Amino acid sequence: MSETLLQGIGLCCERDHRVLFESLDIDVSAGDVLQIEGANGSGKTTLLRVLTGLSDASEGEVRWRGESIRRVREDYHREMQYLGHAAGIKQALTAQENLRWHAAIKGLACDNEIDETLAKVGLRGYEDVPCYTLSAGQQRRVNLARLYLLPAKLWILDEPFTAIDKSGVQAIEMLLSHQAQQGGAVILTTHQELHNVPGLRKLELK
């Protein structure tokens, strides 16, 4: 029996008098990869934001290792990595500077590993050019580099495959499997069919 990391209990969310989801229970344990599916506008992003603690659910509670995330906010955010809808990078800064900032706000120093990580996501030679000169896919890769650089128990990924090419998609799938095997957990939304990801579970929002 693996340990339960994140729990959503009786989550209900309403936007503009429209119920997106109600009495939704989520249980994510170490080793899980949970894919959230649903049509456009079914509340996938809203659910992820509720799970990160950015938004509040109208009803219900999110718990991290059995405690409400409101009470253990700092511990939770230390162990959680969220890749949102927006790029999460400053256009005027270089890939290096962006990653250094991300590391610093997570309380980590890893200057030496940044170039190596950028090479892993296929951005060798782009370390010190401003991000606005990179393509959409490359910017996305800068953001994904955070997953290699900053270890976290739980990843919450909002459409991580957007603008990523085929080989990139494969690499991300491997990355997800690796995270699950290492005893981490992943919650993600995507319309892509995931292959070769052990421990994959699906949740459909209607």
Partner 1 sequence: MTAQINAVQQSVDKSGIFCAMIRRDMTAAFRHPSDLVNPLIFFVVVVTLFPLAVSPDSTFLRDIAPGVLWVSALLATLLSLDMLFQSDFQDGTLEQMLLSPQPLYSAILAKVATHWLLSGLPLTLLSPLLAMMLFLPADGMQALMLTLLLGTPVLSFIGAIGSALTVGLRKTGLLLSLLVLPLYIPVLIFASGAVQAAAAGLPIVGHLALLGAILALTVVLAPLAIVTALRISLSG
175 binds partner 1 (CB under 8 A): yes
The binder of partner 1 chosen from 22, 27, 59, 97 (CB under 8 A)? 97
The binder of partner 1 chosen from 36, 62, 87, 180 (CB under 8 A)? 87
C-alpha dist (Å) from residue 44 to 47, 69, 136, 158, 206: 5, 20, 22, 8, 10
DSSP state of 7: E
Query: What is the total count of residues that contact partner 1 (CB under 8 A)?
Result: 56
C-alpha dist (Å) from residue 202 to 15, 30, 140, 177: 24, 16, 24, 15
Of 19-27, 61-69, 95-103, 187-195: span binding partner 1 (CB under 8 A) = 95-103
25 binds partner 1 (CB under 8 A): no
Helix (H, G, I), strand (E, B) or coil at 206: coil
DSSP state of 54: S
Site of interaction with partner 1 (CB under 8 A)? 49, 52-56, 74-75, 77-78, 80, 82, 84-93, 97, 100-110, 112-113, 116, 120-122, 130, 141, 144, 148-149, 151, 167-168, 171-172, 174-175, 177-179, 182
